[in-house]
Amino acid sequence: MSAAALSPEVLAKYEPVIGLEVHVQLLTASKAFCGCANHFGSAPNSNVCPVCLALPGALPVLNAKAVEFATLAALAINCQVRERSIFARKNYFYPDLPKGYQISQFDKPLAEHGWIDVPTADGTTKRIGITRLHMEEDAGKSIHDGFVDSANHTSLDLNRCGTPLAEIVSEPDIRTPDEAFEYLVRLKEILLYCGVSDCNMEEGSLRCDANVSVRPKGQEKFGTKAEVKNVNSFRFVRAALEYEIERQIEVIESGGRVTQESRLWNAAEGRTYSMRSKEQAHDYRYFPEPDLPPLLISPEFLAETRKKLPELPETRRARMIAEYELTSRDAFALTATREFADRFEAAAKTAKNPHRVANLLLSELGGRLKALGLEQEQSPVSMAGIVLAADLLDEGKISSKQLKQLFDLCFEKNEDFAAVYEREKPEQITDSSAIEALIDQVIEANPKQVEQYRAGKKTVAGFFVGQVMKASKGQANPALLNELVTKKLEG
């Protein structure tokens, strides 16, 4: 079936409905129910013990740090945390699951009724509901290649068994693949700010199942959904959803019915394949975990955990926009990671004009890094260097042209700004009469602009400042130049 043959008119008759299930591994030192290291990349089967191997008689003990991280994440996405939640066994057979069940939570999850706000294309935000956040444990891994006998055998690595997870289930509030992408970006950002997961998709610390259905526009009832599994990047989630939406519309348009099933995303082919009919909750024979007591979250613990919440990205952007007079776009750039935002703010506070620090950081420095394909960490100019540059500009000790030249030198010589500035100490013309002479020349050469200025168009002063600065090869003292240009034009 080709899922690309539909006309825009046909596509426009339907509305997609999307809900996402995100699993994140929690960044605890040890596993959820035993003392084994929770570490990616160890030698296979080196981080295992009787508990996570499910040897008879071994008993789980809940990791307090995992509870703290899950609770922190729940609060960050505005969930209500239950005082009493229940662990449950989710029974199924899989070679990488030696217990034959996963410890999860079922009808009494840790947290419910949350939401996150997601920016939309038209500049507004849309609130996406979070149904629940529950705790569970990860399974091991089947390894199909990389061993000498991989052609004939599948190997098992049980290091991942018992890794603590939070599963975050969204309401079916998402309406487009772009919205789904944005939801994931914002969710990941929040989790990273909270420090509860490294959200590394390549290593599987963040995984996403995408549920999607379509319904004729105007119809209230949801259509039958398919669940797309094995999507290991946000871009692929978007692509898989785009594919799946068209596939379902094509099924309906040709008189068929969408089947409820799990489908597998094949990135190489850019399409989904039917994997299995979707299991129902009763297939898992959920029942309360007899080896673990109910999880009790006291109001005191909740209050303590709430205190550990960092300022979250949305709030931080809003504050920074107001505090440093930033555009929304710049605020997004400066808050890309919590660490970067922290470094910016610590530096900006020491500068005379924090707004200028932001500008230099994003345009002068950011532009050069981008052109060279470098990361922020590879920048020759430090935050302190940016602050110095901003202050020098502010005090009129260098012109913006000189600043650009100094930055160029920093990159050429791979040196920080302070060192380059100390050595170069760009010359400045601070002699009023020399600057006045240049101004006279420019005024003489541009009678039309002089007329405009005198007719009331005061912004033309900027033109003269620019021209004189150019004539001085960027060396005129900016403050003095500004003052003298106004004086001459007024005079």
Residues that bind Zn ion (CB under 5 A): 34, 36, 49, 51-52
Residue 198 CB partners (closer than 8 Å, separation 6+):
25, 27, 192, 205
Instruction: Tell me how far, at minimum, the Cβ of 227 lies from ligand ADP, in Å.
Output: 7
Residue 235 CB coordination number (10 Å): 12
Does residue 264 sit in helix, strand or coil?
strand
DSSP run (H or E) holding 212: strand 206-216
Size (the chain), residues: 491
Selection from 268, 251, 245, 294 nearest residue 108 by Cα: 294
Interface residue with ligand ADP among 172, 204, 310, 426 (CB under 6 A) is 172
237 is a site residue for ligand ADP (CB under 6 A): no
Q: Is the dihedral of CA 393, 397, 402, 403 positive or negative?
A: negative
225 versus 401: smaller Cβ distance to ligand ADP: 225
Burial level of 118, CB count in 10 A (0-12/13-18/19+)? buried
User: What is the rounded (10 degree) CA torsion for 431, 435, 440, 446?
Assistant: -170
Instruction: Tell me how far, at minimum, the Cβ of 198 lies from Zn ion, in Å.
Output: 21
Interface residue with ligand ADP among 15, 68, 96, 171 (CB under 6 A) is 171
204 is a site residue for ligand ADP (CB under 6 A): no
34 binds, among ligand ADP, Zn ion, none (CB under 5 to 8 A by kind): Zn ion
Instruction: Tell me how far, at minimum, the Cβ of 96 lies from ligand ADP, in Å.
Output: 21
170 binds, among Zn ion, ligand ADP, none (CB under 5 to 8 A by kind): ligand ADP
19 is a site residue for ligand ADP (CB under 6 A): yes
Instruction: Tell me how far, at minimum, the Cβ of 265 lies from ligand ADP, in Å.
Output: 16
Instruction: Tell me how far, at minimum, the Cβ of 102 lies from Zn ion, in Å.
Output: 15
d(CA 224, CA 400) in angstroms, rounded, equals: 60
Instruction: Tell me how far, at minimum, the Cβ of 167 lies from Zn ion, in Å.
Output: 21
211 binds, among Zn ion, ligand ADP, none (CB under 5 to 8 A by kind): ligand ADP
DSSP run (H or E) holding 460: helix 460-471
Instruction: Tell me how far, at minimum, the Cβ of 376 lies from ligand ADP, in Å.
Output: 35
82 binds, among ligand ADP, Zn ion, none (CB under 5 to 8 A by kind): none
20 is a site residue for ligand ADP (CB under 6 A): yes
36 versus 410: smaller Cβ distance to Zn ion: 36
Interface residue with ligand ADP among 105, 211, 359, 428 (CB under 6 A) is 211
Instruction: Tell me how far, at minimum, the Cβ of 259 lies from ligand ADP, in Å.
Output: 13
52 binds, among ligand ADP, Zn ion, none (CB under 5 to 8 A by kind): Zn ion
Selection from 186, 283, 184, 279 nearest residue 233 by Cα: 184
Does residue 111 sit in helix, strand or coil?
strand
**264-293 positions binding ligand ADP, by CB under 6 A:** 278, 281
DSSP letter (8 states) at residue 121? T
Instruction: Tell me how far, at minimum, the Cβ of 171 lies from ligand ADP, in Å.
Output: 5
d(CA 284, CA 101) in angstroms, rounded, equals: 9
Q: Cα angle at 198 between 197 and 200, to 5 degrees?
A: 125
158 versus 166: smaller Cβ distance to ligand ADP: 166
Widest pairwise Cα distance in the chain: 96
Interface residue with ligand ADP among 3, 17, 251, 481 (CB under 6 A) is 17
Selection from 135, 192, 132 nearest residue 162 by Cα: 135
49 binds, among ligand ADP, Zn ion, none (CB under 5 to 8 A by kind): Zn ion
The torsion region of residue 371 among left (phi > 0), alpha (psi -120 to 50) and beta comes to: alpha
Give the binding-site size for ligand ADP (rule: CB under 6 A): 16
Choices 48-56, 209-217, 413-421, 454-462 (CB under 6 A): range interacting with ligand ADP: 209-217
Q: Which positions touch ligand ADP (CB under 6 A)? A: 17-21, 169-172, 211-213, 222, 225, 278, 281
